[in-house]
Amino acid sequence: MSFDEKELKNVLEAHCLKYPLMQAEDYVKLLYQNEFAGGHMIPNKAAALQFLKSEYEQMKNTPSQQRYESIGNAIVRADIRCFSYDELSLLLDCFCKTANEHVGTMQSFLEKLDFLYDFLCEREIFDKAMLSRVLTTYKKAGCPSLHHSDVYRNVYKPAYRVISEDLCF
């Protein structure tokens, strides 16, 4: 394996406990972010900042989680509600820096998906056949970045940016 299995197992266990209504796509998204961080470049930083500020205004009155949540591989999810409005520009800088510098590999990601399958099957979190279909379909689609499931969005109200843990402030 090209990744730290113990660390990934700990991350998955923590998320199982904290977010018991996670769907299969939420687990895949977690691993995608663990491997590729943001997974995309930011072509227009000014527009990205406006979007972040708009999201912040919409989410600021919803319950926040913790400021930083480790997702392994030296990556964290930074809950935007835990920052002041004036810190959003710096948070976006950290997000952009991470997206531009963090490099994952498809081979490692595919190994993590296999690890995820075993992890979830051992815990009987999802039906094995359903999980196999979901992961096979996802792989055939080229392993795109995913959105959180409707269940996850409605229950947990995620509002974060993925950054390198060494950029936490």
Output the average pLDDT for the chain: 95
Full-model pTM:
0.95
Q: Is 86 helix (H, G, I), strand (E, B) or coil?
A: helix
**Confidence grade of residue 124 (pLDDT, cut at 50, 70, 90):** very high
Q: Tell me the per-residue pLDDT of 16-37, one tens digit each, with 9 for 90 and over.
A: 999 999 999 999 999 999 999 9
As given in the structure block, the two tokens for residue 90 are 């710096």
Instruction: Check the CA dihedral 144-23-99-10 and report its sign.
Output: negative
- Nearest one of 29, 54, 42, 55 to 98, comparing CA atoms: 42
Query: Range of 137's domain?
Result: 5-167
Task: Round to whole Å and give the CA distance between 53 and 116.
Answer: 34
Residue given tokens 């379909």 in the structure block: 137
Q: Are 12 and 22 in contact (CB under 8 A)?
A: no
Contacts of 108 (CB under 8 A, 6+ apart): 2, 3, 35
CA 126 centroid distance within chain = 20
Q: Where are the beta strands (DSSP E) in the chain?
A: 68-72, 75-79, 160-164
Mutual angle of helices 106-122 and 128-140, in 10-degree steps: 170
Q: Tell me the per-residue pLDDT of 57-91, one tens digit each, with 9 for 90 and over.
A: 999 889 887 999 999 999 999 999 999 999 999 99
**Confidence grade of residue 2 (pLDDT, cut at 50, 70, 90):** confident
Domain count, the chain: 1
Tally of CA atoms within 13 A in the half-sphere of 16 that contains its CB: 15
Task: Round to whole Å and give the CA distance between 80 and 89.
Answer: 11
Residue 40 confidence (pLDDT) above 80: no
